[in-house]
Chains A and B, each alone.
Chain A
Amino acid sequence: MRNYSMTRPMEARCGCMPERSSMDSDFALAMAYVPWQYFDTVYEPDKALEIGTIFPELDKPFLAAGRCGRP
């Protein structure tokens, strides 16, 4: 049996590569995209101040890099 340890692709090693999708061809490589935001429902001001945004769609836990955040 051949030894593939130096040549195996990334997905074979860690399973972290995304699947190819039909959307791939719609986007240029190396470009970042931010979806357009629409003004819709907003939090009441007391809740917004506590959470840190008036927009429910931007209310995220932001738990990366050891930061403390709301669960």
Chain B
Amino acid sequence: MMMNQMNQAQLLHWIDMVSFAVVDITEYLDTHPKDEEAIKYFNHYMDLRRSALRAYAEKYGPLTIDSANPENYWSWSNVPLPWEGGSC
């Protein structure tokens, strides 16, 4: 399923998956900083995470302050967060 076809819960789950891949490969790279295959894996999932966070922020509000990008409305503190029912 393409990212733009996902509903809010599916997109949030996608973000959880790619973010977990980033976290786990980060721990590996901490002890293997020259492993080029692992760096490729990191870059791949980091790109997916960034674009998913951007897509989520555009539709449902920012999950991190990095994707807040306010223009004329401060959505950061004014949209329901996932644990406040924001993804239900």
Contact = CB atoms under 8 A, between A and B. Distances in A.
Interface of A: 37, 39, 42, 45-46, 48-49, 53-55
Given A53-B24, A54-B24, A55-B24, A39 B17 contact: no
Contacts of A49: 16-17, 20
B21 A37 contact: no
Contact of B28 (A37, A45, A48): A37
The 3 closest A-B pairs by CB, nearest first: A45-B17, A39-B38, A54-B24
User: Does more than half of chain B's interface fall in helix, strand or loop, or is it mixed?
Assistant: helix
Interface residues of B, number: 15
Contacts of A37: 28, 31-32
A37 B30 CA distance: 12
A45 B38 contact: no
